[in-house]
Amino acid sequence: MAQQGRYRILMAKAGLDGHDRGVKVVSRALRDAGMEVIYTGLHQTPEQVVRAAIDEDVDAVGLSLLSGAHMTIFPRILDLLRQEGGGDILLFGGGTIPEDDVLTLKQMGVAELFTPGASTVDIVDWVRAHVGRPTEASAGR
Amino acid sequence: MLKDRTLEDDYRQWKDSHPLHERDWKFTTLSGQPVAPLYTPLDLEPNEYTKEIGFPGEFPFTRGIYPSMYRGRLWTMRQFAGFGTAADTNRRFHYLLDNGMTGLSVAFDNPTLMGFDSDDPRSLGEVGRTGVAIDSLADMETLFHGIPLDRVSTSMTINAPAAVLLAMYVAVGEKQGVPSEKLTGTLQNDILKEYIAQKEWIYPPKAAVELVVDTIEYTMRHMPKYNPVSISGYHIREAGSTATQELAFTIADGMTYAEAAMARGLDVDAFAPRLSYFWNSHIDFFEEIGKFRAARRIWARLMKEKFGARDPRSWLMRFHTQTAGVSLTAQQPENNIVRTALEALAAVLGGTQSLHTNSMDEVLALPTEKAVEIALRTQQIIAYETEVVNTVDPLGGSYFVEAMTDRMEAGANDYFRRIEEIGGVLAGIDQGFFQREIAEAAFQYQAELERKEKIMVGVNDFVSDAPADIPILKIDPEVEREQIRRVRELKATRDNERVRATLEALTGAADRGENVMSYVLEAVRAYATVQEISDAMKAVLGTYREPAFV
Amino acid sequence: MATETPAGELVDRLLAGNRRAAGQVISRIEDESPDVESIMRGIFPHTGNAYVVGITGPPGAGKSTVVDELIRVIRASGKRIGVVAVDPNSPFSGGAILGDRIRMMRHSSDTGVFIRSMGARGHLGGLALAARNTILVLDAMGFEVVLVETVGVGQSELEIAGTADTVALVVAPGMGDGVQAIKAGIMEIADIFVVNKADHPQANKTVADIRDLLRMEIAPRAWTPPIVKTVAIRNEGLEDLWIRTRQHRQYLERSGELENRRKLRLEAEILEIADRRLREQVLEPSTETEEFQQLLDRVVHRETDPYAVADRIVPRPGLGGV
């Protein structure tokens, strides 16, 4: 008897900024929505984030970045995910990211970016709508 | 007594004869504390004025630390600035000084805050982004080029590598011919709140506190006009704490430094007058004013009664205030000017000694020159147009404000008891006590916003579809390449034998448990970099790893 | 939606060392996907090489930090390590924040380390089965040591610890219930005791308490569990822990106990598989007949008894074959 798959989301902070208020609030909201959240802590390199995403076989990576390094770190993580065969793992994120950078990053393949003021309800709904997995076991991959 | 009873009766009669006609709304402070419909003398202690309030410049300093407050001297308008290279920030400093700013405040980039050089792989993409990149004394010389350090006081927001930046400041003074005795300013150097909230650390907490004591001891001996620690609630609040948590956790940190310094044999009256505080001014006007007034009273009582300080200067809580970054919204960013103005007014009515007002665009990126100017003008309008500065503590005696002040103090005392029960601040950090309390408060506030029990204009109500249309300051990626080139060139051209020798001497001193400051200064003079100096101490002190609590 | 990768292909890729495939296979194990059986059959011939170490103990003892430091020590000897971090914490929503991994993140840039977090989820086949199969996946991938971290409470947790060749029980002094927590059944399966946070003033008392508990045991042990003191956050004592672990392994190998234990575990596993099949294929269908329901009613009215009805499903010994 197969058990329904469950959303598995990696929540990560990459780079050197220590602002973890947002990532913790979102992690708790995803948990309360019934998802499995793997939080990797502060100050991670893109390589560490991607290795964790692959080993943990998550459906999506949520990256929080308030350091201004978004134009460096998001593309690097996208590249590494593809290199490691995880191109189908969704990358979304949040932080202080100017509008035109949001557009550029989305064109590169970042699935969604939440800027200050986004509600956790919106984020949970977005994950439910865009992560393909849970309708059937291991589906969509 | 008889009179009080009469008032009580009158109050009850008033209440009974006027049924409540209230909106369906939770009347609570920003921190979630209930607020009564009306405050009267019944909310105050018997003898409230003599016991709790008193006169400005006198114990317990509820009304202010100086007798004449802003009639004597206005607060220092100190705008935090830093971005790009040292040369970029130097230009911004000159601009601000030319526009009437009265003190400098340096923001460092993330690599500097974490003790990494710009050419370290971990610094990738972050050089000069959210502050200025400083790798060595050479950058520091550029940063203060044309700024006489004997005439301008400088605040530096630096913590884990604070000893290194302090040494660099001393070395720049030397180059300008200004002896360290004449240097004025403030080093943030509050490492405890890093583990609790801001999360920019290098060494484990215990060793890091000893390093703070090294700087306290050094400035006591060599920099009598300099404030070695600015005990900071600002970041604790930004991380999502309540006002009471900000107040309690920060003062608990302050007590920890005082205890550590005394454990080293330093006389409390020799260092306590140089300790200062740094508070957040959030959007709940009266809660904040109550917090500032309670903070002064709590510290005065602690220093006098718990720490046995006899010099009245040790009892004074001098503090800097910054308006709340988290209260700003990316939506309709012009509204942030109004928020900042109200928060700044609360700080002034709370009796701050210096003030930073946020720029309206800081939630989007680093502030533009225009936005910084409006922020500075906001302070000038409060100082020179509103006339609120004409009398000391104008809200003193307001039933609500005094009740709020009392409540803040009681709330902080409750936390002090809990912190003591778990074994003090270091044990609390180790057990994740503070981290969990803050994460919980942040989560509760977010839930209140989403239930619309709290409103943020433009975010969860009064929303507008019009896109934000204000200019954004972007850091040219060339900055990072330029800074990397600069530090590599330095490493290739300096006297590397001297660097090696000074770093070795530093590691040795750390290993012997000596005060490292003079060794750090030697390494700085030899143009050793922030990372090299940090690594030389890491070899002995170890590296902190986060016990994460979600 | 993309079609699912066939199980055989995933197995081939993971056996070739592909981490992505390994991660996906573990997800299918966790999801109890129908192809788990064929996956496990494909993997099984390649297992039996990893040495499995269980790290268990009450919350707050510092298990994750011990695991993190142990990884460092073991990696220094060049061995590749798999880690299964089991975190059974689930609030009412069924969601979970798996945070054990945070303390081990520095090893995430090391290809010789594979870390997998596992929540409780309410696995129908049991958390223990999922953890056991995950260990086999890492074993088949060629990880020479597999560390399994669990909180030493609850039946499935005990079962997971029981899967390990060596079980290290981590406690910390000054936790109030530190030694108390040991008594809850896990004492007997501990091969090594670790007193972490040994710089605590009460550390020696905790060591003495454990000695006392061991002395009071009635059944004699062939292997006397050593007590190792560690201060994991300061990298102290982990080398010693690894030496003791290897000594225990040598003891198991020399005494034939390792082969014996593994054999017993496989026997238990065969029985478990057979048991599940029996339940699914014989026992449960037999309750779905109309005849059974009538018999059940008669039991309710005391016209017959449960034993007589059970006889009709599985005959009593002596009454002939099934």
A35 part of a folded domain: yes
Indicate if the pLDDT at residue A135 is higher than 70. no
Q: Comparing C-alpha atoms, which of B292, B282, B289, B281 is closest to residue B247? A: B292
CB within 8 Å of chain B, chain C residues 192-251: 233-234
Q: Which residues of C touch A57 (CB under 8 A)?
A: 20, 23-24, 26-27
Res. B80 pLDDT band, cuts 50 70 90: confident
Q: Which two tokens stand for residue A133?
A: 């997995």
* C206 alpha-carbon distance from chain centroid: 26
Q: What pLDDT was estimated at residue B144? A: 97
Indicate whether B550 pLDDT > 80.
no
Residue B202 lies in a domain: yes
B200/B213 Cα distance (integer angstroms): 19
Question: What is the number of residues in chain C?
Answer: 322
Cβ contact, residue pair A138, C115, below 8 Å: no
Mean pLDDT of chain C: 88
pLDDT value of residue B375: 96
Instruction: Tell me, yes or no, whether B487 lies in a domain.
Output: no
User: Per-residue pLDDT averaged across B4-21, rounded?
Assistant: 86
Residue with tokens 């405040």: B105
Per-residue CA distances from C242 to B375, C55, C245 (Å): 59, 12, 5
Domains of chain C from N-terminus onward: 1-45 (no CATH), 47-255 (3.40.50.300)
Instruction: Name, in order, each residue with C-beta under 8 angstroms of C44's C-beta and a sequence gap of 6 or more.
Output: C136, C140
This complex has an ipTM of 0.89
User: Is the CB of A96 inside 8 Å of chain B's CB atoms?
Assistant: yes
Give me the residues of chain C with pLDDT under 50, please.
Answer: 1-2, 321-322
Is there a domain that residue A137 lies in? no
pLDDT of amino acid C217 = 80
Please judge whether C102 and A39 are an interchain contact, meaning their C-beta atoms are less than 8 angstroms apart: yes
Mark out the alpha helices in A38-134 (DSSP H runs).
46-55, 70-83, 99-108, 120-130
Judged by a CB distance cut-off of 8 A, whether residue C80 touches chain A is no
Query: How many angstroms separate the CA atoms of B165 and B263, rounded?
Result: 25
Q: What is the mean pLDDT of residues B363-391?
A: 94
- Cβ pair B204:C106 closer than 8 A: no
CATH of the domain at A121: 3.40.50.280
Substitution target from B430, B545, B550 for chain C, most C beta carbons within 10 A = B545
Whether C28 and chain A come into contact, CB under 8 Å, resolves to yes
Residues A23/C97, Cβ–Cβ less than 8 Å:
no
pLDDT at A132 over 90: no
In sequence order, what are the residues at sequence separation of 6 or more whose Cβ sits closer than 8 angstroms to the Cβ of residue C134?
Answer: C26, C29, C30, C84, C116, C118
Cβ–Cβ of B542/C99 closer than 8 Å? no
Say yes or no to pLDDT of A1 above 50: no
Of all residues in chain B, the one with the smallest CA distance to A114 is: B330
Q: How far is A140 from chain C (nearest CA, A)?
A: 5
pLDDT band at B122; cut points 50, 70, 90: very high
Helices vs strands, H then E, count in chain A: 5, 5
**Which CATH number do you get for residue B64?**
3.20.20.240
Q: Provide the token pair at B321.
A: 């205030």
Q: Per the CB < 8 Å rule, is A37 touching C4?
A: no
Name the closest residue on chain C to residue B549, using Cα atoms: C99
Tens-digit pLDDT profile for residues B510-543? 999 999 999 999 999 999 999 999 999 999 999 9
Q: What is the pLDDT of residue C178?
A: 54
If one compares B133 and C217, the residue with the highest pLDDT of the two is B133
Residue A54 lies in a domain: yes
Residues in A closer than 8 angstroms to B442, CB to CB, are: 21, 24-25
Specify the number of domains making up chain A: 1
Number of domains in chain B: 1
Q: State mean pLDDT over A65-84.
A: 94
Please indicate whether, in this complex, the C-beta atoms of C234 and B542 are within 8 angstroms of each other.
yes
B194 in Cβ contact with B159 (< 8 Å): yes
CB contact under 8 A, C116 and A55: yes
- The confidence score (pLDDT) of residue B548 equals 63
Residue B420 lies in a domain: yes
Q: Of A13-27, B51-65, C178-192, C274-288, which has the strongest mean pLDDT?
A: B51-65
Query: Which of C102, C106, C233 is facing B548, going by the closest CB pair?
Result: C102
Find the domain containing A109 and state its range.
8-132
Q: What pLDDT is stored for residue B30 in this prediction?
A: 96
SS (H, E, C) chain C: CCCCCCHHHHHHHHHCCCHHHHHHHHHHHHHCCCCHHHHHHHHHHHCCCCEEEEEEECCCCCHHHHHHHHHHHHHHCCCCEEEEEEECCCCCCCCEEECHHHHHHHHHHCCCEEEEEEECCCCCCCHHHHHHHHHHHHHHCCCCEEEEEEECCCHHHHHHHHCCCEEEEEECCCCCCHHHHHCCCCHHHCCEEEECCCCCCCHHHHHHHHHHHHHCCCCCCCCCCCEEECEHHHCECHHHHHHHHHHHHHHHHHHCHHHHHHHHHHHHHHHHHHHHHHHHHHHHHHCCCHHHHHHHHHHHCCCCCHHHHHHHHCCCCCCCCC
Q: Considering only alpha carbons, which residue of chain B is nearest residue C59?
A: B431
Instruction: Nearest chain B residue to A70 by CA: give it.
Output: B125
Please determine, for residue B3, whether its predicted confidence score (pLDDT) is greater than 60.
Answer: no
Mean pLDDT of chain B: 95
Q: B296-325 pLDDT, tens per residue?
A: 999 999 999 999 999 999 999 999 999 999
Give the range of the structural domain holding residue B336, as residue numbers without chain letter.
54-450
Count of H-run helices and E-run strands, chain B: 23, 9
Classify residue A77: in a domain, yes or no.
yes
Q: Hey, what amino acid is at B240?
A: G
Q: What is the pLDDT of residue C2?
A: 45
Confidence tier at B174 by pLDDT (50, 70, 90): very high
Q: Is residue A102's pLDDT more than 60?
A: yes
A neighbour chains, 3+ CB pairs within 8 Å: B, C
Please report which confidence band the pLDDT of residue A6 belongs to, taking 50, 70 and 90 as the band edges: confident
- Report the residue from A40, A52, A138 with minimal CB separation from C28: A138
Q: Per mean pLDDT, which range of A131-140, B61-70, B442-451, C200-209 is the poorest? A: A131-140
- Chain-chain contact of C102 with B546 (C-beta, under 8 angstroms): yes
Predicted confidence band of residue B39 (pLDDT cuts 50, 70, 90): very high
- pLDDT of B467: 75
Q: Which of A10, A13, A21 to mutate to test the interface with B (most CBs of B within 10 A)?
A: A21
pLDDT for res A141: 35
Residues B263-302 have pLDDT tens digits of 999 999 999 999 999 999 999 999 999 999 999 999 999 9
* Domain presence at residue B356: yes
